[in-house]
């Protein structure tokens, strides 16, 4: 059974810092990995999707990497802003329907 | 496209009552997923459909839960009878050919 772990559970940084969120998974037989953002009381917004054959994806200030063999992914956020404050969820796609298994998330607070 | 649409956004009901949650996936998507999010268990997959056919309902917690997809543009998740422990946020998501999943805004269910 696939298990996804995210470290740290919470992170507080001053505005402008670069930061890294970590995600690990137990079964390397994945199709893809998605990073989501969730604001309090809101739904999930997809940030980046990395296919299993890819090593990284970039979108603006966000860069996600994937090391499938070691079961790890990182989400790098450059020059953090207070608007980046949210919970960041990592999810891996596996199984016959490529269903997602989610980590428990990292709650990020960027202080102005 | 309007994205994945869910209704209602909030539902408050008394224990023992029937609850029906509704979802309209993105047009053209062939996979539909129902997830539940709680503080204790995070995001869990309940059931998913492919081309309107239920494929895996192993995540459905009990027989009180049922889901249908009568056509490509509509799905329901029903709880009968509801219990306080069913209180959670229920998300619907859709994807095309098992690729990136797009989530709806969720339905916050409170059972008193």
| Residue range B74-108, pLDDT digits in tens | 999 999 999 999 999 999 999 987 678 899 999 99
Secondary structure of B10-59 in HEC code, one letter for each residue: EEEECCCCCEEEEEECCCCCCEEEEEEEECCCEEEEEEEEECCEEEECCC
Q: What is the pLDDT of residue A94?
A: 84
Residue A54, SS3?
coil
Q: What is the pLDDT of residue A72?
A: 97
- Which residue, B107, B73, B72, is CA-closest to B92? B107
- Given pLDDT bands bounded at 50, 70 and 90, which one contains residue B2? confident
Give the model confidence (pLDDT) of B5-52 as tens digits.
Answer: 999 999 999 999 999 999 999 999 999 999 999 989 999 999 999 999
Q: What is the pLDDT of residue B98?
A: 60
Q: What is the pLDDT of residue A97?
A: 67
Task: Give the closest of B33, B99, B105 to A99, CB-based.
Answer: B33
Residues of B with Cβ-Cβ distance to A93 under 8 angstroms: 98
* Residue B63: partners with Cβ closer than 8 Å, 6 or more residues away: none
Q: What is the pLDDT of residue A98?
A: 76
Each of the 112 residues of chain A gets a pLDDT tens digit; together they read 899 999 999 999 999 999 999 999 999 999 999 999 999 888 899 999 999 999 999 999 999 999 999 999 999 999 999 999 999 999 999 877 678 899 999 999 999 9
Pairwise CB contact (< 8 Å): A49 & B100? yes
Task: Give the closest of B55, B99, B105 to A42, CB-based.
Answer: B105
Determine the distance from the C-alpha atom of residue A55 to the mean position of all C-alpha atoms in its chain, rounded to a whole number.
Answer: 14
Interfacial A residues in 30-89 facing B (CB < 8 Å): 31-32, 34, 36, 41-46, 49, 89
* Residue B91: partners with Cβ closer than 8 Å, 6 or more residues away: A43, A44, B6, B34, B35, B36, B37, B43, B103, B104, B106
Q: What is the pLDDT of residue B99?
A: 75
Of A96-100, B56-60, B108-112, minimum mean pLDDT range = A96-100
Distance from the B55 Cα atom to the nearest Cα atom in chain A, whole angstroms: 8
Q: What is the pLDDT of residue A1?
A: 85
Q: What is the pLDDT of residue B36?
A: 97
Q: What is the pLDDT of residue B1?
A: 65
Residues of B with Cβ-Cβ distance to A101 under 8 angstroms: 45
Residue A85, SS3?
coil
What CA–CA distances, in Å, run from B51 to B29, B48, B71? 9, 10, 8
Q: What is the pLDDT of residue A75?
A: 97
């Amino acid at each position: 059974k696939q298990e996804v772990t995210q470290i740290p559970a919470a992170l507080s940084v001053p505005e402008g810092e670069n930061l890294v969120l970590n995600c690990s998974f137990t079964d390397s037989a994945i199709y893809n990995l998605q990073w989501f953002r969730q604001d309090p009381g809101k739904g999930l917004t997809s940030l980046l999707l990395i296919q299993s054959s890819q090593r990284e994806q970039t979108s603006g200030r966000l860069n996600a990497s994937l090391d499938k063999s070691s079961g790890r992914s990182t989400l790098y956020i450059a020059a953090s802003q207070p608007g980046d404050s949210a919970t960041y969820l990592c999810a891996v796609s596996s199984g016959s329907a490529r269903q997602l298994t989610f980590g428990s998330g990292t709650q990020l607070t960027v202080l102005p | 496209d309007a994205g994945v649409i869910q209704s209602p956004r909030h539902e408050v009901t008394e224990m023992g009552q029937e609850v029906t949650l509704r979802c309209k996936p993105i047009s053209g998507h062939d996979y539909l997923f129902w997830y539940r999010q709680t503080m204790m268990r995070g995001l869990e997959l309940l059931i998913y459909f492919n081309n309107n056919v239920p494929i895996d309902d192993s995540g459905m917690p009990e027989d009180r839960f049922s889901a249908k997809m009568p056509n490509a543009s509509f799905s329901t998740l029903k709880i009968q009878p509801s219990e306080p422990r069913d209180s959670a946020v229920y998300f619907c998501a859709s994807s095309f050919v098992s690729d990136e999943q797009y989530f709806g805004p969720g339905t916050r269910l409170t059972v008193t």
